[in-house]
Amino acid sequence: MFIVKNSISSHFLRRGDMVDLVLALLSGVLLALILLLSNFMPATRKFSNNIPYGSMGCWPFLGETLSFLKPHQSNSIGSFLESHCSRYGKVFKSHLFGSPAIISCDHEMNMFILQNEEKLFQCSYPKPIHGILGNLSLLVVVGDVHKRLRNVALSFTNTCKSNPEYLHDIEKLTVSCMQSWKNKKEVVFCDEAKKFTFNLMVKQILSMEPDDPLCSKILQDFQTFMKGLVSIPLYIPGTPYGRAVKARARICSTVKGIMRERGKGNVGLEKRDFLDVLLSNTSISSEGKVSIVLDLLLGGYETTSILMSTAVYFLGHSQHALDKLKAEHQVIRERKKGGESLNWEDYKQMQFTHYVINEALRCGNVVKFVHRKALKDVNFKGYHIPCGWRVLPVFSAVHLDPSLHENASQFDPWRWAVQEPVKNVAPFGGGPRLCPGAELAKIETSFFLHHLVLSYRWTIKEADHPLAYPYVEFKKGLPIEIELQDSS
C-alpha cells in the first residue's frame, strides 16, 4: 500500500513538474513576444515628428516584408509601392526584413544614399544572403575589404574591354549559338542566354571551353545556386536554399581544385587568364580569391543574361524598334569584309543598340532595389532617418516614374536620343558600389543582338513577361519561335 501511494505521489509530482515546465515555456514565449513587440512598436512612434509617414505592418519581425516582395511584372512597380506611394509619398517608412526601414522611390534621395556609402550609409543585406553568397562576396562586404576586392574585379573588366581576344570570344560564342538554332523552330531564350553568358565568363576567367566536362558541372551547380538565391531562406536539407548552399560549396571546391593545380607551377597549366592574374595577387586570401571568381561568374552569368532576355522581350513587342535596330546592324555588317569580326570601333558605332539596351534596363529593372542601413541619424530633404534603420533605394520606382519619364511604361529607345533620361536611371546602382561589370554586360548584349537580328526573326510564343522576384526572371523562360532569315 505504501508502495502504491508512493508511486501515485511520485506520478502527480511528475505531472506537476510538467505543468510547471509548460507554464514556464509559455511565459518565456510570451516574454519574448513582448520584448519583440516593444522593440517593434517604438519604431513606429520614435521620431514620429521627423521620419516619413508609413505603415509598419501588423506582423512582428516580418512587418510588410511579404507584401513588399510579392512578385509582379518588372516593368511595373507592383501593388505594394503603388499603394504606399499614393498614400505616403515617394519616401515612406515600413518594417522590412526584420527591422524598421525607410523606402525611397525618390531619385535624388537614392543618389544621396548611394553617394554617401561608408559615410552616412553602409551596405547591409539580410543574414541569409551572407549564408548563400559567402561572407567575402562583393555584395555583402564593406569598408576596406570591399574596396580591395572591388579593385580586383575592376581590373578584370578593364582588361577584358581592352583585349581584342575578349571581343573575339564573344562573337565566336554568339555565332556558335546562332548555328545551334538552325534546325530549331523554338528555343527557350533565357536558357540559351544563360549558357552563352556562363560559357563566356568561364572562358575569360578559367580558360574553359563549353565542351569541358568541368564547365558543365559548374553550370549545373550554378543553376541550383541561383534557384536558392531567391528562395525562402530555410537551411534544411532538400529545400532550394539548402541545395543552393551545398551547390556553392561544390563550386568553391571545384575552383579551389583548379587553383591548386595552377599553383603547382606545372608547365602547360599557365593560361594567362584572369585566374593566373588573381593567383599572383598576394594581398588577397585564398578564400577571397575564390569569392571573387564566384562573384564574377555570378554577375556575368545572371545580370547579362537577364539584360539580353529583357531586350529580346521588348524588341519582340516593338517591331518599329526592331526594324531600326536591324537597319543599324546591316550597315555595320556591310562595312565588314568577308566575315571580318566585330571590333571596338564597331561597338562604338552601335548608337541605337545602346538606346535599346538602356531602355531595356530602364523598363526591365534587372536590379529592383539595394539594401543599406543608416550609420548615424541622417536628415535629407526634410526627412529624418534614424541611426540603425534599414534604408532601401528602389531603382525601379524611379525608372518608371511618369514625372521623370514621359510615357514611362512604354518601351521607347528613342527617348535616349535626348540626354535627360541618363540623369534619372541607375540600373547598375551608383557611388562606390557601382557594378564593375556594367560595361561588359552592354558589350556582350550588343554583339549578341548584332548576330541575332541579322540571322533570325522571332516572336514571343507564349504570354510570358519579366517578373520581379525580386530578382528578374521569366516564369516560362521566355520561349520564342524563330525563323532563319535569308542571308541575302
Query: What is the spatial distance between Cα 96 and Cα 370, in angstroms, rounded to a whole number?
Result: 13
Residue 435 annotated as binding? Answer: yes
Phi, psi of 248 (to 5 degrees): -65, -40
Query: What is the spatial distance between Cα 145 and Cα 433, in angstroms, rounded to a whole number?
Result: 12
The answer to whether residues 296 and 155 touch, using CB atoms and an 8 Å cutoff, is: no
Q: 471 burial class (0-12, 13-18, 19+ CB within 10 angstroms)?
A: middle
User: What residue type is 110 in one-letter code?
Assistant: N
In 3D space, the residue among 447, 439, 415, 442 whose CA is nearest the CA of residue 329 turns out to be 447
Q: For residue 162, give every residue at least 6 positions away whose Cβ sits within 8 Å of its Cβ, in sequence order, or none.
A: none
The answer to whether residues 370 and 312 touch, using CB atoms and an 8 Å cutoff, is: no
Q: Cα torsion for 198, 200, 202, 203, to the nearest 10°?
A: 160
**Cell 554586360 maps to which residue?**
441
The answer to whether residues 163 and 274 touch, using CB atoms and an 8 Å cutoff, is: no
The answer to whether residues 479 and 187 touch, using CB atoms and an 8 Å cutoff, is: yes
The answer to whether residues 297 and 202 touch, using CB atoms and an 8 Å cutoff, is: yes
Query: What is the spatial distance between Cα 312 and Cα 187, in angstroms, rounded to a whole number?
Result: 12
Q: Which residues are annotated as a binding site for heme?
A: 435
Q: Which residues are annotated as a binding site?
A: 435
